[in-house]
Amino acid sequence: MHTDQQPVTARRAIEVEGLHKSFGALEVLKGIDFSVERGEVVCVIGPSGSGKSTLLRCVNLLEEPTAGRVTVAGTEVTDPDVDIDRVRRRIGMVFQSFNLFPHLTALENLTIAQRRVLRRDRAAAEQVARANLERVGLSDKESAYPAQLSGGQQQRVAIARALSMEPELMLFDEPTSALDPELVGDVLAVMRGLAQEGMTMLVVTHEMSFAREVADRVVFMDGGIIVEEGVPERVIADPQHERTRTFLARVLDPAAAGIIEVAEGEPPPGEQQP
């Protein structure tokens, strides 16, 4: 916890109440009620267009909700008078794209926000940066530029950069979706380690094995609403809702799901629904 912040007494790290988000006439979130406890790992799953990433982006106000309230660590981020930059210092965010500065080395990517936002001196920032590069297994890459790193290494640098701000919770938006399959494991291993350390994590993911193994709770979204949520053993292994079962059948066994859908006259899983 940063010494310049007020003590946080809220038991919940994230609380979302009646959240709506529209883009023009398109309503993407349709009244979401949702929370994440301190130290909890919550994985959000669901098809493309279900509102998962929009929900995540509303948590730190990268998207402004149309209606509803979002509270992070006891501070309502949807309050018009909130100091959102102050709140964001407590939230680490890792995107699909790595968003590293191409002209800066890995070490410099980790120190720039520390120095400009947290006002750390160079020596202190580099000490924190090196500790976090070691944490993600990249101590030997501190002088490398992003173009000299694989996608998986770039994503691990992005995670280390977020950790260098010493956040209270981490948001991950499909962190492995842009990676080649052989690079996914290293990134998930880092995230697994964070979970074991007790980091509060809200993860939008399509990696069902990760959700099953690491999540305390899995949330299935579709059509802008939460369809089903619970422990992984129930939601993934024994879903109660037909829509959840259909989605998981497609994700866990795409070939079998495709055969069933063709037999039922539905389009194969690779095609977009209207």
Write out pLDDT tens, residues 60-113.
999 999 999 999 989 999 999 999 999 998 999 999 888 999 999 999 999 999
Three-state SS sequence of 82-140: CCHHHHHCCEEEECCCCCCCCCCCHHHHHHHHHHHHCCCCHHHHHHHHHHHHHHCCCHH
Q: Where are the alpha helices (DSSP H) in the chain?
A: 52-59, 84-88, 106-117, 122-135, 151-163, 181-196, 208-214, 232-235, 242-252, 254-263
Per-residue pLDDT at 195 exceeds 70: yes
| Confidence at 254, pLDDT banded by 50, 70, 90 | low
Rounded to 5°, angle at Cα 28 from 241 and 255: 45
Per-residue pLDDT at 142 exceeds 60: yes
Write out pLDDT tens, residues 80-90.
999 999 999 89
**Percentage of the chain surpassing pLDDT 90?**
80
Domain residue extents for the chain: 100-166
Write out pLDDT tens, residues 13-53.
999 999 999 999 999 999 999 999 999 999 999 999 999 99
Per-residue pLDDT at 197 exceeds 60: yes
Contacts with 128 (C-beta within 8 Å, 6 or more apart), sequence order: 110, 111, 114, 120, 164, 166
In contact, 156 and 137? CB cutoff 8 Å: yes
Give the dihedral sign, CA 224/54/184/41: negative
Q: How far apart are CA 214 and CA 191, in angstroms?
A: 9
pLDDT of residue 255: 62
